[in-house]
Amino acid sequence: MAPDTVEKTPVTLLGLGAMGAALARAWLAAGHPLTVWNRTPARAAVISAEGATVADSAAEAVAANTLVVVCLLDDASVEEVLADADLAGRDLVNLTTGTPAQARARADWARERGARYLDGGIMAVPPMIGVPDAGGYVFYSGSRELFERHRETLAVSAGTTYVGRDAGFAALHDIALLSAMYGMFAGAAHAFALIRREDIDPASLAPLLADWLVAMAPTVHQTADQLRSGDYTKGVVSNLAMQVAGTPTFLRTAAEQGVSPELLSPYFELMRRRLAEGSGEEDLTGVIDLLVR
């Protein structure tokens, strides 16, 4: 059979919000037969005009194909939408954002209903979906066999990264990366606040800030190495004692600029607590142990 006539895996997609619609269009563009359902019919009608088959109910959509992808608002929506669906024999891929515990519970729930389960954490925004060079990808966890079976189809929308048989690992990786992102946003917000009332163009600070964050990003590898070895003094350039000694300057500058220190103060407090334990020669890695309860 010629490559351009190879039959593509049919897909059922539940949920046509911004992300769901982007996923739908990616599979349609790649030639996959697509059955869709959405709580708001108008959104389904738009995708229908582009070639998808619209089911009258979620249960009907699930019955249409073996591969069922869910991209809904939250975990509670998944249970509600699939309440009347027969999942026996279905390959359920859940791309709904949730917690690791919810993913593990949902995997058990799916197995009890006769389905094979794969959880996913999307590391992309809708415009990146279906664009190979955009850099978006999806974490997957759960059944390795299921992942391999549908890897090619799943890769149509974004890159695929399998992170383990534990169904909660995709959500855990997703939230871990997004948590770091929000920490970065917090630091950037404080930086811009410091210059807000000065005769400094934010556009002139932006490239300096971006370059600095890129330069600092590789330090995560040293942190990981220290965590693995248990030696938090390994490769230290600026130790904890030195960095704690410098924190009053940051707080004083914020006060002088009329900027609240609330984005920095919690981290500085953790640094001081770690130092109080007598770990001044360490890197900042020890702060992580204070966070783990």
Helix/strand/coil percent split, the chain, to 5: 55, 10, 35
Identify the pLDDT of residue 12: 98
What's the pTM? 0.93
**3-state class of 152 per DSSP?**
helix
Identify the pLDDT of residue 281: 97
Identify the pLDDT of residue 279: 87
Residues β-bridged to residue 70: 14, 94
Contact yes or no for 61/84 (Cβ under 8 A): no
Residue type, 279: S
Identify the pLDDT of residue 173: 98
* DSSP sequence for 169-224: HHHHHHHHHHHHHHHHHHHHHHHHHHHTTSS--HHHHHHHHHHHHHHHTTHHHHHH
Tell which residue, 60, 6, 7, 49, has the closest CA to residue 24: 49
Nearest-angstrom CA–CA distance, 172 and 27? 26
Label residues 190-225 b or e (16+ Cβ within 10 Å = b).
Answer: bbeebeeeeeeeeeebeeeeeeeeeeeeeeeeeeee
Q: What is the chain's pLDDT, residue by residue, as a tens digit (293 residues)?
A: 444 557 999 999 999 999 999 999 999 999 999 999 999 999 999 999 999 999 999 999 999 999 999 999 999 999 999 999 999 999 999 999 999 999 999 999 999 999 999 999 999 999 999 999 999 999 999 999 999 999 999 999 999 999 999 999 999 999 999 999 999 999 999 999 999 999 999 999 999 999 999 999 999 999 999 999 999 999 999 999 999 999 999 999 999 999 999 999 999 999 999 999 988 999 999 999 999 98
